Amino acid sequence: MNEILIKPHHFIDIIKLYGSGITHFVPDEKMGHDFYKVANEIISNPTVNLKLTVYGDDICKPCKKYQKKCIDSLTHILGYASKDDYNLTLDKRIIDMYNLKDKPYTALQFCSIIFENKEKIFKVWAEEENCITEKRYELFVKGANKFLNR
C-alpha cells in the first residue's frame, strides 16, 4: 500500500491492540472488514503514509455493515444510536484536539503526535466509562512505546 486512508480512531485502536500484545492481526470473517490488513501493514511498515478521514476508510469499505457509511447500531453510548455518528464525533474530536492537518502523515509521525498529548484520549472518548478509557489509554501508551522505540 502506498497510502492508507484511515480514520484517526482506527489508528489509535491499532496501536492500543498492539500494546495489548497482538503482533499479527487476523481477518474478522464475520464482519469482513480490513482492520487486520491495515493493522498488519502499519505495524510492519511504520513509514507508510496515512491519509486521515472522518468517513469510510480502507478498514471500513469491505465491511458487511458499510454501505457508503456504517449502518451498525450502537447501544452502549448515551446519545448515540449509530456507530457512524459516534465515530464521526470521535474522529472530528481527534482532528481538532490534535490540530491535525489535511496532509499525509507517516504512521510514526501520527503515532508521535498522539503520544505527545496522550492524555487527550480521555477527552476524545468522553462518553465512555472512565475504566474503559483508562484501559484504552494504558494500552495505547504501551503500544506507542513499542511502535516508536524499535
Does the structure show a pLDDT above 90 at 123? yes
Evaluate whether 44 touches 147 at the Cβ level (below 8 Å).
Answer: no
40-92: pLDDT as tens digits: 999 999 999 999 999 999 999 999 999 999 999 999 898 999 999 999 999 99
pLDDT higher than 90, residue 1: no
Residue 93 grid cell:
474530536
Q: Higher pLDDT residue, 12 or 30? A: 12
Cell of 87: 465515530
Phi/psi of residue 88, nearest 5 degrees? -60, -45
pLDDT bin (cut points 50, 70, 90) of residue 150 is confident
Contacts of 112 (CB under 8 A, 6+ apart): 148
